[in-house]
Structure 1
Amino acid sequence: MPPRTSLQAFLTTARSALSGPPAQRPSPLIFVVGNESADLDSICSALLFAYFRTHTPPHTLHIPLSNLPKADLALRPELNAVLNPAGLSPNDLITLSDLPRDGLDPRDTRWLLVDHNVLTGDLAGPFSDQIIGCVDHHDDEGAIPHSLPPDQPRIFAKCGSCMSLVLTHCQPTWDRLSTSSSAAAAADAASSAAIDAALAHVALAPILIDTTNLTSTDKTTACDRHAAALAEAKLQDAAAPARDRAAYFAQLTALKNAIGGLPYRDILRKDYKRWREGALTLGVSTVVQGLAYVLREVGDRAALLAALRAWAAEQGLDVAAVMTVSRPGGVFARELLVWGLNPDGVRAVRGFVDRCGATLGLESWEGAALDGGDGVGEWRVCWRQRGIEFSRKQVAPMLREAMRESSRL
């Protein structure tokens, strides 16, 4: 790679390397991939971390992989607001659909994980043994070896956005690209500033979304504030929409929360993660509106439950969960629906309630209006979650631990 390229040129190079005949591909192919929910933090962190790693000596190409099928990009309208000012469109991103049809020999690949530290979904089986590092703000699940090559990252730190860790780790590279003579030789000052503005625009988006514009006292850390300031400093000489932080945050939030008009299947898969624990499989969908909203605007109780059952069958789930986040009347609220779909799933859900119900502040939703099942072959229960500080980042591990415990009984 040349010392200084735009994001567009970088993605073109990465796509060409991936789509070439097997004998002409780099060996090994190095991928940077975010988690299976493929939210802004995962997509943008993978894109920028791959970009900066590629521009760091020895300039080995890193391919940013968005962890979703290409068709699912249409479910994320906020991506347009992030990518368009950077000279990109969602179609420029490299997705699971772009992996070579002739297949990839896992031995010819290496994987860097951002915004997670255990591969899940279709990538988990073949490629888990090829992970060489990670940058993550979730709890360390122990899957990343401690004895990594010295030039590979193993970064775990609590902060609102994984992007904050990416920028902090890659700041020396970004500063060098912005100021080095080689960068100036590759582009005039105006072009170099435009590249920086594009990078900053992509970087700021997940930080603002994941920290509620740096106002969340539960999530925002000094690392997030430092990373946002770093990105904003690169915008000082640019006429970029992200210079008005509040307006940019409001635009992204409105687009991210716009689920009106989507069918239930799309709502359930829009922000979805799946885990395997022993013989059981868990899937958790996060919905950015409350249950009252979706039941009113999307479909009634029967339609919701039919869609969730169908989605669980499609995904092969033993336990299906839906978490909602909303602000009715301006007050932040969470709801949680969990469905054990077979006897093993029911035992896991009961264990989850016994272990975590009080911690999460679970209270029956609307007089048990969405509850159901015989409590043995199936059991479905829905709550208001008074412990609003517990997001999927905390609730999913609680469910997974209950699944592990139930399988030991």
Structure 2
Amino acid sequence: MYYLRLARGYRALDLARWLLTATAAAVVAAFLLRALGRALNGTGGNLERLLWCLPPLAAVAWFAAAAARAVPAQHPERITGLTAAGAGPARIRLLVAGEIALACALGSAFTLLLFLILRNDIAGPSLAPDLGMGVPLPPAAPVALLAVLPLVAGVSAACAIRFPESLPGRPAEPVRTRYAPLRLLLPVPVLLAGLGLELYGLRPDATDAERTLALPGGLPATSPALLIGWALTAVALGLWTGPLLALAGRLLALRRPEPLRLLAGRGLTARARGLGTPLAVLTALLALLLVAWRNWARTDTEVPVLTLVEGALVLACAVAALAARLHELRADRRPALDALDRLGTPTGLLAGTAALRALAAGGVLLLTGGLTVLLCPLL
């Protein structure tokens, strides 16, 4: 209880993060309970519906990991108090992971309560198949199904917190701005393999009979080679996002830069490692949504509501994870910003460097995202 008292004192940002986690967990729990209700009715396709729940589950786990990683940087005084009270890295990690798992559990419990209320002859005929009305509900089935969500989110949060550099009083590791040669060369074979599979799927003698993979959401059927090839190319371009951000920062600071270009270039180079992964994930999701939207508009297909809800949830989790990472990086650079403020740096100069960094990062994302869209075989 002493550790919980030290962990109190939520701010508006903490409450927003907690509510976002609980809301996202409630939506994913609704998808899982719908799959359970359909399975109780024996409508078939149970495995496919459960697999369709994996993207939002992974999105919630990704957001939980990003939010947990940002906690030590956002609240150094809280971590200091826990450390002074005798809590080690493992106990602090368990405390943060338990907080996120509790939010997911409460969101899941709210959805389960609503599910049970609607099953009590309240829902209309349109919702009856999704709720499994008329079929006895095994008590252990929804509990076991919904226990996966807080477990996955808690484990992701516990694994995301980095030690020892996140704890006050420990020596901070120097910021690495260079990438190892293996990190730079790894995407090359992945990209070549993806392009090879796409060319194989688009060969002139390929027939429509090979398009045996039915995509959800009204998207056209495709072949496994095309889908796997595009996934590999997207992964390769995502792996290059961080190095390209660092390269853009170095290009900004070339020659004899004025203070605006120097601060923007050095700042972008220092943040490239932290921003590379969340920006790559967000760019890939936006590219996928753009491709899907163009296909829906081209074929005049009515988009299922559940597909829109799931896409909005995954995109919201990606944006929230990026916001958490940006807040974490800003907290890490707070001493440097305070030093610049004590030196009398004009506010307009700092705003200009932020705008220039955003412009350079936007150019990199436009390059990687545009290539991801152009290489998609569904266009």
TM-score tier, shorter chain, comes to under 0.3
Q: When the two structures are superposed, what TM-score results if normalisation uses the length of structure 2?
A: 0.26
In terms of fraction of residues, the more strand-rich structure is 1
Q: When the two structures are superposed, what TM-score results if normalisation uses the length of structure 1?
A: 0.25
> Relative contact order (alpha carbons < 8 A, sep ≥ 6): 1 or 2 greater?
2
In terms of fraction of residues, the more helix-rich structure is 2
